[in-house]
Amino acid sequence: MITISNIQSDDFREFEGLTDYIEVLINSFPKPITRKELAQQIGVSQPAITKVKNRLLSLCDRDALVFNHKLILKTDETFWMLLVLYALKMKPTRILLSNYGWEMIKRMQIHSKISDKFKEYSLYFNERDTQIMTRIALFNLGNFQIVHQIRTRISNPQERMMLLSGQYISAMQTIMQKLDLPMDNAEDLLDILAIRDKLFYLMKDLISQQVKRASILQKLTSEEKTTYLKIYLDTIDFYLRKVFSNGTNFIKQTAEKRKLVFEEDYEKIGFFYSPPPK
């Protein structure tokens, strides 16, 4: 059995030259197609399909072949093998953003796994939100290196957590400039803006929890603690809004490039989502 851990370079030799065929299958998924349809979409003759038949059929579901003589990719370790194949070709998003890749990712139940380990997450985000953020992450695979640079550059956890560093804001601006968003229509735009609002309130909640537990506050009187805590939380809100305003500007610029209407109210944090009072 082929698994992600034991795939070898030799496993891909038999699939060299099949990229065009695989492209059609990953994008037509979950609709099975006939060999004739496959040949038409690629622009080759049916005898050309016959030449690669055995290699191609090894990737496809046998039940579909037996019962309706149609081709559809298997949903087992075949996905991992194809993912590595595309990664070696430096084109991982071609499969990850395809119908086939996206179906396989949804089966991983990412939302429930995150929610199990991060209880605050499920208070703000639902499964659809997670799917949207996953698509954005996949759309920007090449930017993970930038995230690592930001993480390395800001070594002080408290400074990073409280967002009181001009360096942090500068780093956030850098990553925003390099991001891209899967935004093809007005619905995509509104979904992304709702994610922005939810992410803002989640971060504010997490940072506020950290500040309330800060050792310096425990040494103050009740009255002093109330005063200082308000100052800290207001400062956090100010800097956090400054960071997110950069994100909003980027979303607006992307929307304008895609010829989508960006209303004035869309710039307001909390316009699309505001958490219920605690």
Contact 275, 200 (CB under 8 A): no
| 117-171 per-position pLDDT tens digit | 998 999 999 999 999 999 888 887 755 554 555 455 545 555 444 444 444 455 5
Handedness of CA 162, 166, 167, 169 (dihedral sign): positive
- What is the structure's pLDDT at 159? 47
Give the pLDDT of residue 90.
72
The 10s digit of each residue's pLDDT in 195-215 is: 999 999 998 888 888 777 776
Q: Which of 7-16, 155-164, 264-273 has the lowest mean pLDDT?
A: 155-164
Average pLDDT, the chain: 81
Q: In the chain, what are the domains?
A: 9-106 (1.10.10), 110-267 (no CATH)
For residue 64, what are its two tokens?
A: 């579909």
What is the structure's pLDDT at 224? 77
pLDDT tens figures, 110-127:
999 999 999 899 999 999
pLDDT of residue 278: 67
pLDDT at 22 over 80: yes
Which residue, 269, 112, 107, is CA-closest to 202?
269
The pLDDT of 223-249, averaged and rounded, is 85
Structure token digits, residue 274: 């505001």
Mean pLDDT, rounded, for 81-93:
81
Q: Are the CB atoms for 194 and 153 separated by under 8 Å? A: no
Least confident of 7-11, 16-20, 67-71, 92-96: 7-11
Other residues' Cβ atoms within 10 Å of the Cβ of residue 21: 22
Q: Would you say 124 and 198 are in contact if contact means Cβ atoms under 8 Å apart?
A: yes
